[in-house]
Amino acid sequence: MDGLMQFWNAGLTVVIAIIGFFVKEKLNKIDSLEKLLNRTREEVARDYVTNSEVQRITDHIDQRFNKLEEKIDRLIHGTNNA
């Protein structure tokens, strides 16, 4: 009976060790995937602009064109009056 109990304990130890090994490998894989995901997010943020940035740039360009249109209008009206 004592030998059977030792065999059972050894078998359970091996099974638990194998399960622990696979769990550790999966956790390591998840960690490496999280690191890759973070790098991908950084690259996407570096390569693309956000909607708010596009809106800000568009507003700035619109303001510049409005100033240019005003100057052109002043030149046209100034040469017609003279």
Residue 31 has pLDDT above 80, yes or no: yes
Residue 45 has pLDDT above 90, yes or no: no
The total domain count for the chain is: 2
Domain encompassing residue 71: 51-82
* Judgement on whether residues 4 and 39 belong to the same structural domain of the protein: yes
* Judgement on whether residues 43 and 78 belong to the same structural domain of the protein: no
Phi, psi of 46 (to 5 degrees): -75, -40
Phi, psi of 48 (to 5 degrees): -120, 155
* Judgement on whether residues 44 and 55 belong to the same structural domain of the protein: no
Over residues 47-68, mean pLDDT: 92
Over residues 7-16, mean pLDDT: 96
* Judgement on whether residues 35 and 64 belong to the same structural domain of the protein: no
pLDDT at 80: 59
Percent of the chain exceeding pLDDT 90 equals: 68
63-65-69-74 Cα dihedral, nearest 10 degrees: 60
* Judgement on whether residues 5 and 42 belong to the same structural domain of the protein: yes
Residue 43 has pLDDT above 90, yes or no: no
* Judgement on whether residues 67 and 82 belong to the same structural domain of the protein: yes
* Judgement on whether residues 62 and 43 belong to the same structural domain of the protein: no
Residue 44 has pLDDT above 90, yes or no: no
